[in-house]
Amino acid sequence: MFESMLVFGLVNSATLLLLSLGFSITFGLSGVANFAHGGIYLLSGYLAFFLIRTIGLPYFIAVILTIIITAFLGAAIYKLVVIRVRGIVLNEVIATFAIGICILELFRWLGYVTYEYSLPYIVRGRFTVLGTTLDYQRLLIVVVALLLAVFVWYFTHRTKTGMALLGMAQDEYTALAVGVDSDWAATYSFAIGGAFAAVAAVMILPLGIININLGYEVLLIALAVTVLGGLESTKGLILGCFILGYAQVFTSTFFAPHWKEAVYLLAILIVLAVKPSGLLGKFKELEERV
């Protein structure tokens, strides 16, 4: 019982991390909250499905193609739409929200909701750890989530491009003064956000069928995790994922599974009441919470 909670909590936390990383990267680097994140996530799932099942490409080529196309899509969303409303936070929210709604409801209308729409497992089979049976796909989720988190840290702290983006996020005018192009950085961050959403979709969607409402849920997860962990730190993000992941497993074990969603809101409320800047956040409460 305890061991299985431990294992599934880890898997759940890694899932949350994968889902929210793309949103958090875009938000952290460009300051734009990409409300289309859930839509992009589902779109990349359907894209992978289309490439694998309809066109019949080999699995890995299809996945890489999905990630690249989604990255370009993310960049296109910035270049075509967001760039025109950038700086007006509320319009950014409404514009990206509208894009997300369009994608999700279009797929709902097309009727892509039945059981045939599911992605294949990357690796089959299962193994036993701590007395709990776990399939390799879930193990892979944990590994990929950790790899991505490490990659994000490495990218933003050790590579030139990453440091330019980080500089943009920390102080736009100073970064401009040393020759970083603001629009270039934001396009980059949207592309990375899109690519991460695609990775998450390819990893996580095989576990179930592709469901439209997942798109809305992904947004809530991303919000809960960023509020919980504190906006500006990757460490906070990971911590937030672990807290939420374990809290969810705990609730569905001891209460009923449908209270799982209540955990997000409850977590947000408690953190806001106790430490409004987030667990590892440093900013003041009112000013920075835009």
Are the beta carbons of 97 and 35 closer than 8 angstroms?
Answer: yes
Question: Which region among 9-17, 51-59, 172-180, 259-267 touches another protein (by CB under 8 A)?
Answer: 259-267
- Least CB distance from residue 220 to another protein, whole Å? 5
108 is a contact residue toward another protein (CB under 8 A) = yes
76 is a contact residue toward another protein (CB under 8 A) = no
Residue 72's alpha-carbon distances to 77, 86, 183, 246, 279, in angstroms, are 9, 19, 15, 34, 34
**What is the rounded distance in angstroms from the CA atom of residue 167 to the CA atom of residue 95?**
26
Are the beta carbons of 210 and 47 closer than 8 angstroms?
Answer: no
33 is a contact residue toward another protein (CB under 8 A) = yes
- Least CB distance from residue 107 to another protein, whole Å? 10
- Least CB distance from residue 100 to another protein, whole Å? 8
- Figure out which of the listed residues 109, 115, 173, 254 binds another protein, where binding follows CB under 8 A: 109
- Least CB distance from residue 40 to another protein, whole Å? 14
143 or 262: CB nearest another protein:
262
289 is a contact residue toward another protein (CB under 8 A) = yes
Site string for another protein, 228-257 (x = CB under 8 A): ----------------------------x-
* Count of residues that bind another protein according to CB under 8 A: 43
* 82-86 contacts at long range (C-beta below 8 A, 24 or more positions apart): 82/32, 82/186, 82/190, 83/183, 83/186, 86/32, 86/186
147 is a contact residue toward another protein (CB under 8 A) = no
Residue 37's alpha-carbon distances to 41, 110, 125, in angstroms, are 6, 20, 31
- Single-letter amino acid, residue 15: T
Binding site for another protein (CB under 8 A): 33, 35, 81, 84-85, 88-91, 93-95, 97-99, 101-102, 105-106, 108-109, 216, 219-220, 223, 227, 256, 258-259, 261-262, 264-265, 268-269, 272-273, 276, 285-287, 289-290
